[in-house]
Structure 1
Amino acid sequence: MSRLSGLSDRIVDHAESLVADWSDGDVVDIEDQMTQVTIDVICDLMMGGELSAAQRRTVQDQLEPIGRRFEPDPVRSAVPDWVPLPGDEEYRSAVEELDGLIGEIVARRRTELAAGTDGESMDFLSILLRAQERGEQSEQQLRDEMMTMLLAGHDTTALTLTFTWHLLSEHPEAERRVHAELDELLDGDRSWMEVVRGMEYTEWVINEAMRLYPPVYVMFRTPTRPFEANGYTVPEGATLMLPQYAVHRSERFWDDPDEFDPERWRPERAAERPRFAYFPFGGGPRHCIGRQLALLEARLIVATVGSEFRLMSAEDGPLELLPTLTAHPVDGLEMQVERRED
């Protein structure tokens, strides 16, 4: 519990650093802002350090060409990997750019650990480096782990937060209830973990944001043996598409599925639904291992930002999504910052 409390304090520190630069009336790209803070958090907690502003921008700039490689594309899925297609060069360049950045992070952390300046650090990278010294981790495995952690560890949480702010701006009564809950929880000398444990309605809002706008909107699985499903035989090696976006909005499982309704997450209502009517983090043995950290981070950032500011949409028209590796707003999402009255 003390370790979780320490992580919570560090997450809040990063969120407070972000909003310290906001002024009443500013218009910000909230997707960009949430990406900045979640990159800072993942690098601190998982890699034991910070990125410079230029390095953080490198990560953000490479997400788009990498994400485009994973857009649903029947042509790409039908041709062999060796066939050149548009976007291949940009994808390779982005991977090389990020691999170079990962190399810098690993080298810096290795030097710090060798110098003994950080003792028995328990960040993920330090643990992997100690495993490598014991011969349990190759250099390529370590870099692959770090690449996955850097990209998957920040992008999905940033998008969850982006869609949460968007939905709250469209539903003033839900926003009022979130602010009221945060004001009550933050009135006193509670630890951040106590605040998180007290979040009920705010947690429902975040869950509802991930239902309507799951950052990972579709995932794929390949069965290792044939099996039967609803009268169909699925062969070994087939590609199965599991579309969170469609399932999360299916009338089979949800009343008024396209409506924003945090109340549907009341325990008595949630208990009525099948387990996999909602699976933003996947499921089974290959579910997202960062689920608990992502949910903790999302709640703490909402609490930190929401206790000081309202975020109001500065755009007209419906939210349009770009389906790449994750579902992003097409051109970011501009929102106006309004400081809440004491």
Structure 2
Amino acid sequence: MASGSSDTDGTDRGIDASDGNANDRPIEEYPLPPGPDGYPIVGNAFQVVRDPFGFYDVVSTHGDVVQYSIVGNTFTALLHPDYVERVLVSEHERFERYLFADLGLDIGAEGLVMSDGEQWRRQRGVMQPVFTTDRVQSYGETMATYADRATKRWDDGDVIVANKEFSRLTLRILAEALFDLEVDPTSDDEAVVRAARAINERADARRLSTFLPGWVPTLADRRFERTMDDYRCRVEELIEHRRAVGADGDDLLSILVRAGGSGESALSEAEISDNLVAFLFAGHETSSVALTYTFSLLAQCDDVVDELRAELESVVGDDRPGAEHARDLEYTDAVITEAMRRYPPVYMLFRRALEDVSIGGYRIPEGTILTLPQFRLHRDERFYDAPEEFRPERWIDGSKRDRPEYAYFPFGGGPRHCIGMRFATLEMKLIVATVLRRFDLELLSDPDPEISATTTFGPAADVRIRLHRR
């Protein structure tokens, strides 16, 4: 196991243990970070569009703090866990969340996902009771029931398109468990399904138009706006229906509706609506991506499947997998963790500097957009032996103690860590356990798929798996 200790002494990659403006050195004396050359106006945009992930191979040759630009915006990539920890945790108040809303990518601007400051804290307080450990455990029955129904529909020899099957399954679970709603994700007319496609198309980093300001009209923007208008209408219908039938339940939608009003801590109509808009999309999309890669990797690793099934036999036995088993499914957890290391569903976080700061001996001017690329850090050989290999045991053999904490952060970190982390983890455990007890897996698609560069790290082409009943 490659330890991070030898890389944090300031001798290799410009890491400055004393920086952070704790000394008397004026911030203006720090140099700007190095970075790749670009073109006038567009900066490095063509390099990013040509190869959004390979671009970071170029970036990394300049160090762990690297500046680049895209169409007038200045970015700085942070490629060491210590710097990620500073931005997300120890100095988080010096940075705000950045989600490209100024480029027209509005996925619930007034909701928890995209808000900051007091607005974010107020909303987080309203929603936190829905995501406590005990409440998440109570959703286990819904998760197990839907997973059971899905696998009972599959037969020996069936070929499933994993990315689509798990998207439908996780959307059904999310809608029922958190919002007490029924949706039909098998229909192309379903507004949530169409919105997910539109959001991913609009956020595609392989299209130069993605990086143009929101006031520049494009065909993609017009399609996005029409689809999102339909989606918002659907969301408003759901909210009004809940008001009409009574919002006295303990699900998230009822809690949001009850939180509306005119008081100081009340949620506005836009906040209620935007939270439903964002949660219905992000709450299922990320889990479905993680499950798709988990099963793709398992289909290639018989020894891992054998170990996983041995654990299921020991922990679950003849019972149906449920929340009561989840704590003891340690190897199952390691399998999912390792899959998200290789393929983090949210592959990059962005923050914007609220003031001039210094990181790694370099000056980061106010307004700079900081890039925290999970997909790069999760495969950094300084922190992982054989990072391209699928090794679930690396999470249970004690070696992770030698690794910096933020060498792995699929759910973000600090105060802004994903509120649905426990929900997603339990959901994925129960789905993996249910499927593996009933089927062997045969991967029919590329074992090393091309990755889409949209809102998630999803596969660019469908992942097809043939099922063999056990």
Q: Could you tell me the TM-score, scaled by structure 1's length?
A: 0.92
1:181 aligns with 2:311: yes
1:212 aligns with 2:342: yes
Once the two structures are overlaid, the 10-residue window that deviates more, 145-154 or 318-327, is: 318-327
Q: Unaligned regions of 5+ residues in structure 1, if any?
A: 115-119
- On the 8 A contact 1:39/1:56 being kept in 2, the answer is no
Match of 1:315 among 423, 431, 445: 445
Q: In structure 2, give the amino acid aligned to 1:96.
A: D
Q: In structure 2, give the amino acid aligned to 1:72.
A: A
Distance 1:326 1:91 in 2: 17
Helix, strand or coil at the partner of 1:310: strand
1:3 CA drift (Å): 4.0
1:252 CA drift (Å): 1.5
- On the 8 A contact 1:55/1:101 being kept in 2, the answer is no
Q: In structure 2, give the amino acid aligned to 1:80.
A: P
Once the two structures are overlaid, the 10-residue window that deviates more, 273-282 or 87-96, is: 87-96
1:94 CA drift (Å): 2.1
Note the aligned Cα RMSD (angstroms). 2.1
Q: In structure 2, give the amino acid aligned to 1:15.
A: A
Helix, strand or coil at the partner of 2:363: strand
Deviation per residue, 1:73-116 (Å, 9 max, x gap)? 684476432012341112112211211221222122222216xx
Distance 2:420 2:220 in 1: 30
Match of 1:330 among 440, 457, 460: 460
Once the two structures are overlaid, the 10-residue window that deviates more, 305-314 or 206-215, is: 305-314
Larger Rg: 2
Match of 1:93 among 223, 226, 229: 226
1:60 CA drift (Å): 2.3
Deviation per residue, 1:149-172 (Å, 9 max, x gap)? 111100000111110000000111
Distance 1:293 1:2, change over 3 A: closer
Distance 1:62 1:137, change over 3 A: same
Q: In structure 2, give the amino acid aligned to 1:293.
A: F
Once the two structures are overlaid, the 10-residue window that deviates more, 299-308 or 199-208, is: 299-308
Distance 1:301 1:78, change over 3 A: closer
1:131 aligns with 2:131: no
- On the 8 A contact 1:36/1:56 being kept in 2, the answer is no
1:256 CA drift (Å): 0.8
Distance 1:252 1:56, change over 3 A: farther
Number of aligned residues: 335
Q: In structure 1, give the amino acid aligned to 2:173.
A: V
Structure with more helix by fraction: 1
Match of 2:163 in 1: 31
Distance 1:335 1:216 in 2: 23
- On the 8 A contact 2:334/2:395 being kept in 1, the answer is yes
1:23 CA drift (Å): 0.6
Distance 1:74 1:314, change over 3 A: closer
1:277 CA drift (Å): 0.2
- On the 8 A contact 1:214/1:245 being kept in 2, the answer is yes
Distance 1:324 1:209 in 2: 19
Q: Could you tell me the TM-score, scaled by structure 2's length?
A: 0.68
Q: What does 1:224-303 align with in structure 2 at a 5 Å threshold?
A: 224-266=354-396, 268-303=398-433
Q: In structure 2, give the amino acid aligned to 1:324.
A: T
Q: In structure 1, give the amino acid aligned to 2:250.
A: M
The percent identity for this pair of structures is 36
Distance 2:296 2:319 in 1: 30
Distance 1:223 1:258 in 2: 33
Distance 1:15 1:205 in 2: 18
Q: What does 1:88-167 align with in structure 2 at a 5 Å threshold?
A: 88-113=221-246, 120-133=248-261, 135=263, 136-167=266-297
Distance 1:65 1:178 in 2: 37
Deviation per residue, 1:167-218 (Å, 9 max, x gap)? 0001111011112211222215688233101111111110000000011111
Distance 2:302 2:228 in 1: 41
1:51 CA drift (Å): 1.1
- On the 8 A contact 1:5/1:192 being kept in 2, the answer is no
Helix, strand or coil at the partner of 1:296: helix
Distance 1:74 1:5, change over 3 A: closer
Q: In structure 1, give the amino acid aligned to 2:255.
A: I
Helix, strand or coil at the partner of 1:311: strand
Helix, strand or coil at the partner of 2:452: strand
